A and B are shown apart, each in its own frame.
Chain A
Amino acid sequence: MFWRRILFLSLLVAPVVPLPASAQYGYNFGRNKIHYEDFDWQILKTEHFDIYYYPEMQDLAEHGAFFAEEAYEDLQNKFDFALARRVPIIFYSSNIHFKQTNTTPGFIPDGVGGFFEFLKGRVVIPANGNIHQFRRVVRHELTHVFTYARVVRALRDHRVPLEQYLPLWFTEGLAEYWSGEPDYQHEMMIRDALFSNYLVPLENLDRISGTYLMYKEGEAVCRFISEEYGEEKILQLIENSWKNRDFREIMAATLREPFEEIAQKWLVWLKKQYYPSLESAQIASYTTDPVAVRGFNGKPAYYQFDDGTRKVYFIGNKTGYTNVYEVEVDSLYHPVGEPQVLIAGERNDRFEAFHAFESRISTSRQGKLAFVTKSGERDVIHVYDLERGELEGSYGFDDQIAVYSPDWSPDGTKIVFSSIDRSGYSDLFTFDLESGNLKKLTNDVYDDRDPAWSPDGRFLAFSSDRTSMGVRDAYNLFLYDVKDGGIQYVTYGDQYDMTPRWSPDGNHIVYASAQRDTTGRYGAQNIWVADVSGKVSASPEVALLSTDAPMVIPATGQAEERQITEITGTAFDPVWTEDDRLLFTTLERYHFTIRSLDDVDSLVADPREEVPIELADVGSHWSFGSIGTEDGVRSVPYHRKYNLDVAQGAVSQNPIWGTTGGAILAFSDMLSDDYWYLTLYNTGTAQSDFLNSMNVALTRVQLNRRTSVAYSVFRYGGLRYDITDPDAFEVSPLYRETMYGGSLTISYPFSMFRRVEVGTSFAYSDKEISFKENSERRAVLLSNSVSLVHDNTIFNGNGPVEGWRANLTAAYTTDVMYSNVNYFTLSADVRHYLRLGNQVTFASWGMGRINQGKEARLFVLGGSWDMRGYHLFSVRARKMWFTSQELRFPLVNAPSVYLPILAPFGISSIRGAAFVDAAHVWNDGYYDEERLPLVPGYTTGETMGSAGLGLRVNIFGGFVLRYDLGYRFSDGFRDRDHHLFKQFFFGWDF
């Protein structure tokens, strides 16, 4: 929501300067967080919670209410504590809807399962089709709520500042630990970290703060404490948090052992659990063949062209953008060359974002690739013709919000996929590309996912928690008979069976499964095969889809499943190729890679393990409880009520400048859709000046619709410092101005990357500049502006590294009463970032700006952020062009590894830059020379610039110190200063 902050800031500035902010000091970029849906919010008032939901997801919200109360009862005991006030929980029925929330300003990636926000004490959670996961996230976030309440109580009781809060690894680890037993992803992460030797020791967990590994290691630490020292110790750690700023000391005092000993014991505890499984396990990099190993790679598919060329397709992320890649492989599936981007994702409206971890891709026998991206307000299935090398079509469905894992029918006319509608439940659908007919195959609360069409077209294999084991959060495989709509079990057990694919002959299903070991803990996810030859029709045909509701065929008989890999970390997303190879994804050394195994038939014939499938044990269906209006709980429509979020103020006293001070108050509603800001400050230097120097602004920003609207009324008066005013003294641009009026800004996003902004302001201005003739100027200013903004850049800690962004602005300002002001503004600002390597970027910036007319304002340049070698904002004129070319490269990554003494200073990287800047500014004639008072030796009317080298030191991952040195040039770069300039400042790269 970066752009909204900019919007807000511009609103504060706009009344002062009746022009868009982008035309003055600042640069208005940023992606758009779009509120596509106008949700009809309701509130379910349970005993302890206010559950926010919209009517389409009422059933799921009532389950969520049940989960919340259930969690409360449990956590009340675990924390021996009660919450003092009701907790608002805001539910969304899918991640796509969740991404629209205003309750957090940032963009929400796919992996975020929910969050607890301190300011309003609210919990925000999306569903993802998996009701078990939904329940788990509710418990996770409520654990945070209890932890926060209990810690804050302990700290405040002892008058200890809240900064002495628990470390993130502990709070997140505890939330994971108390939200349920370790899932297979936990096991995957811990195993790989241990076996690949990157497990971060307890004393260094702060260094991986916020990472997925931190969550899982934190969970393991909490489990270790509970098992080895007693669960009560966890509560004591929280209760003792006030005693010391160093959590290691708290651990030592509470667990009554030296911290080093605790850390060592934890390692031993982990190794004892996991090392025995190494004896028989396969190291993926030693026992399988690599297909794509650099960066994140997953969800493989393959296609053999008519000319015999084989290609593997997958979703990958090597530089920050997620793309669909293709890599040609030989007959042994060894890659021929580097993977190439087939579909460039995350930089245009059509391929806005991938579900990189959740949605598979599929190739048809006819050479079509189907994949899913988010495109606007919903997910869309794209069909790409591999033979012709072009995108054939994109298909979105009004009611289907999130779409996952499309798979082709054998004849290439239909696509089966899973999808979440507004209800929040995941079901299976087929889409007929020829007729455009969309058919819903399943319709219930169960999470049906990863469908795969059998080679004969008769069956759909899919994974689902509809198994009677699903009550324990298990997933098994099923067959959906497209002829009669019947569903039958393929696998059965307390395990995670996922991502099925068929063998080419249709007699087997290959899938990923995580199964429990003898201790009850999940083992590594690996590749398994189930024989379905007895269930598949002998005569291949594509049956007509049944219109009847699915029925479940009673499970009978006995079968078996065979484990064909035993990879140490994890193996999933298997694909069985026509030439008897297996493509799959593995996690090893914290990298997801695509690998292959040959001779699958022999692996099946000689499996690593055979497990009987006891279909006779299949039990009945399961369901979760719910709390709704039928239980006497009230549901009321949501009406906005505004709470004070923050108040900030300052007062200063100075013998020369007098007493100045002010405050800003911010109010917003529970959903943060509507903000009110009240700004109040006084700059008077004497008592008699108090009323004249009173500044008041009331601003409202509404974000509840796609079009964001902000308006403001204001009264500003007193002394102003404005370097863009053409009438003010250049050296010290101070003058008096009284101004009152109003402004309106409307922002309409076309997509995540593009928007148009329209602004208008109407204000009376009375300006007085001392020591000048005709020093007083009155005006009734009407200012209108329109801007087009594009931004698809991605960042590292220092600034943009890839993509491009641009801002085109036109504005017109006129005095409608006295004709004292009348000028127009044109501005174009384009920046491009070319990724030359993983850490090397070539950045180009071109900008042209014109203010023309009566009292046209000045543009400014200078300083470390643009025109290097010149003082900050010291180059001023009404017209300019400017360009900068910069090569950004790494010098030392993580320097504290080499010099640990740097660690306390938080220096996370040291990078270098080589740059050339050039500008030409002028007021009237392009070559008219006027001396610029603040810039020794610089005049308007000539092209000047600088070239040099820079050093960028990133502190704590986000704050950048900049040091540049180089030469300044003038007279069209014909003259060079004799001395090097040196410039030190802070700020991100442009």
Chain B
Amino acid sequence: MAFDLIDRYKKRSSPPGQEGIQGWSIQWFRQTQQRYSPERHKGPLPARPIISTPSLILSFSLPLFPPFPLSSFLPLSLLLLTLAGCGSLKLNTPTAGANDWPTEGASARRQYAPLTEIAPPLELVWDYNASAAFGPGSPLIIGNAVIIATRQGEIQIVEFKTGKRRGVKGFGDAVEGTPAFKDGILFIPGAWGGRALYAYGLNRGDLLWSVKGDPVETGVLISSGNVVVVDAAPRIAAYAPRTGTLKWERRLDPGAAVLASPVAIGENAFAVANEDGLVTALDGATGKVLWTADAGAPVQSTPSSRDSLLFLPTTRGQMVALDTHDGHRVWAYDIHSQRVYFSSPAASDSGLVFGASDGKVRALDPRTGTLKWAFDGGEAFSAAPLITRNVVYVGGLDGKLYALKRSDGTKLWDYELDGRVKSALASRGDYIVVASEPKNVYLFKASDPDYAENK
């Protein structure tokens, strides 16, 4: 009689083309031997179970996609990760500094434009193995910490200077959207298998409050002092940051999901775009609808806003600019292809830069929507770029980090990473944080401030 003591276990995290253990199992069973009496072996024999011993079998199988790293061979890492997931997060930083990156795109307007000088070539300061993948948003940088949300439901804190892990804690099965940090509290959207929103006090390392509800797969917005999230229903809800009290809520068209994070379009207003291209502007304090507009095509990547314009990337080769006051269309840039996905844009005074699935990075004049330049990287770009003073940085699905001249898109430098970059970048000072597939986080530092000018 055999029975499983430990059920089949699957290691489920490996990079593309680097899959490791497909499966292994441990079985314990009782082995019963039928033994026959030697002196009677010439005649008919009764079956008598007289040996009954326990056995332990460990088996594994590996369908392999070369090359495979030995590290993925080790289930130990998963064990450690599981143990680590029971830990806590602490950060002695009550508020975000001016140069910090406390939310997706650095600010509620999701501009990805710190405009500091970060000149290539960059030097790799450290790389960190998060043992988990990342959503499309950016990491956060608060004080001496890089905060990373993973698709395995963890928030990890990594020391900014050294790349050493300082804490990890689980929040459900997946965190897809980017958390937001304000006044010592980290607001974490729960995409699956847990609560819809968590407020975690980083100073004391404790959970302040959480709310149940439909999963939240987009980033958190701080608007009018409220914590605003859009869930899968879709429903927009605003909570008091300290108590989690529901301040207001508003339901949107249930027939169209919201896949892009909400974006601020003024001091007290923000906008939400759904997959039908319907844009709804709301008052952050009351939830009152200010205006609605049609982007003309589905919006799946997070928009950005600057001055009085809201920039909406669509999935059908259009970038649409709406007036933030009334939602009227100011301009639309159209490459006349129904099948090109535009990434979230980075918006500065002089340029609106975004990647696309056709392998190009484009820069538009944010006032007119006219094309200023385009860089053809060959492979798709799905992550938001980062605009610095003279250089645009963008990660591609070819696994490269590119530095492009901000004025004309000329490639200045590139760096090959371990996997595709599909998460947005974050920066502070002359540092850039990059998250790439399958589970790596890199910190780069500018090494030659004159490089871009000389080039």
Contact = CB atoms under 8 A, between A and B. Distances in A.
B251 interface: no
B192 A84 contact: no
Contact of B65 (A121, A651, A655, A731): A121
B57 A650 contact: yes
A631 to B, nearest CB: 16
B257 A256 contact: yes
A925 B338 CA distance: 85
Contacts of A159: 12-13, 152
A731 B45 contact: yes
B161 interface: no
A256 B298 contact: no
Interface string B18-58: 01001000000001010110100111110000010111111
Interface string A26-41: 0000000000000000
Interface in B41-84: 41-45, 51, 53-66
Interface string B154-176: 00000000000000000001100
B357 A77 contact: yes
Contacts of B311: none
A731 B63 contact: no
Contacts of B255: 256-257
A474 to B, nearest CB: 24
A646 B62 contact: yes
B16 A650 contact: no
B398 interface: yes
B56 A644 contact: no
Contacts of A81: 357, 380, 382, 397
Contacts of B13: 156, 159
Interface stretch (A402-410, A551-559, A676-684, A929-937): A929-937
Contact of A160 (B12, B19, B35, B60): B12
Nearest to A729: B41
A957 interface: no
Given A76-B379, A82-B396, A85-B17, A730 B66 contact: no
Nearest to B338: A231
Contacts of B31: 654
Contact of B66 (A243, A257, A643): A643
Nearest to A253: B232
Contacts of A158: 133, 151-152, 173-174, 192
Interface string A85-97: 1000000000000
Interface string A628-665: 00000000000000011111111111111100010000
A158 B173 CA distance: 8
A230 interface: yes
Contacts of B36: 731-732
Interface residues on B, range: 35 or more
A161 B256 CA distance: 29
Given A77-B341, A158-B152, A84 B44 contact: no
A306 interface: no
Contact of B397 (A82, A651, A653): A82
Contact of B399 (A84, A152, A236, A243): A84
A256 to B, nearest CB: 5
B42 A931 contact: yes
Contact of A933 (B45, B192, B340): B45
B359 interface: yes
B288 to A, nearest CB: 26
Most chain B CB inside 10 Å of its own CB: which residue of A81, A85, A159, A936: A159
A104 to B, nearest CB: 15
Interface string B423-439: 00000000000000110
Contact of B382 (A80, A644, A645, A653): A80
B378 interface: yes
Given A232-B275, A655-B53, A156 B14 contact: yes
A901 interface: no
A74 interface: yes
B300 A649 contact: no
A505 interface: no
A657 B52 CA distance: 12
A771 interface: yes
Contacts of A118: 63
A652 B275 contact: no
A963 B19 CA distance: 42
A47 interface: yes
A157 B130 CA distance: 12
Given A76-B379, A121-B65, A650-B57, A933 B174 contact: no
A647 B56 contact: no
A74 B380 CA distance: 11
B339 A256 contact: no
A933 B43 contact: yes
B240 to A, nearest CB: 30
Contacts of B232: 253
A82 B45 contact: no
Given A82-B380, A646-B61, A648-B62, A731 B41 contact: yes
Interface in A148-169: 149, 152-153, 155-162
B315 interface: yes
B10 interface: yes
B382 A647 contact: no
B419 interface: yes
Interface in A219-277: 230-232, 236, 243, 253-254, 256-257
A158 B41 CA distance: 58
B362 interface: no
B63 A119 contact: yes
B62 A78 contact: no
Nearest to B300: A232
A232 B315 contact: yes
B340 A84 contact: no
B57 A729 contact: no
Most chain B CB inside 10 Å of its own CB: which residue of A152, A232, A254, A771: A232
A47 B378 contact: yes
Nearest to B343: A80
Given A649-B59, A655-B54, A931-B43, A256 B12 contact: no
Contacts of B16: 84-85, 149, 152-153, 156
Contacts of B57: 650-653
A84 B38 contact: no
Contacts of B58: 650-652, 661
Interface string A41-53: 0000001000000
B358 interface: yes
B420 interface: yes
Given A157-B151, A230-B275, A933-B45, A729 B38 contact: yes
B339 A74 contact: yes
A161 B56 contact: no
B53 A646 contact: no
A45 to B, nearest CB: 15
Given A81-B397, A256-B257, A771-B38, A649 B357 contact: no
Interface of B: 10, 12-17, 19, 22, 31, 33, 35-36, 38, 41-45, 51, 53-66, 132-133, 151-152, 173-174, 192, 232, 254-257, 259, 275, 298, 300, 315, 337-341, 357-359, 378-380, 382, 396-399, 419-420, 437-438
Given A729-B38, A933-B42, A936-B44, 13 more contacts: A81-B380, A81-B382, A82-B379, A82-B380, A84-B16, A156-B12, A156-B19, A157-B133, A232-B275, A645-B63, A652-B58, A657-B53, A731-B36
20 contacts: A74-B339, A77-B340, A82-B379, A82-B420, A84-B420, A156-B15, A158-B152, A160-B12, A243-B192, A256-B255, A646-B62, A646-B63, A650-B60, A651-B58, A651-B59, A652-B55, A654-B56, A656-B53, A933-B41, A933-B45
Listed from nearest, the 8 A-B pairs whose CB atoms lie closest are A82-B397, A157-B133, A159-B12, A936-B44, A650-B59, A82-B379, A652-B57, A654-B55
Interface of A: 47, 73-74, 76-82, 84-85, 118-119, 121, 149, 152-153, 155-162, 230-232, 236, 243, 253-254, 256-257, 643-657, 661, 729-732, 771, 931, 933-934, 936-937
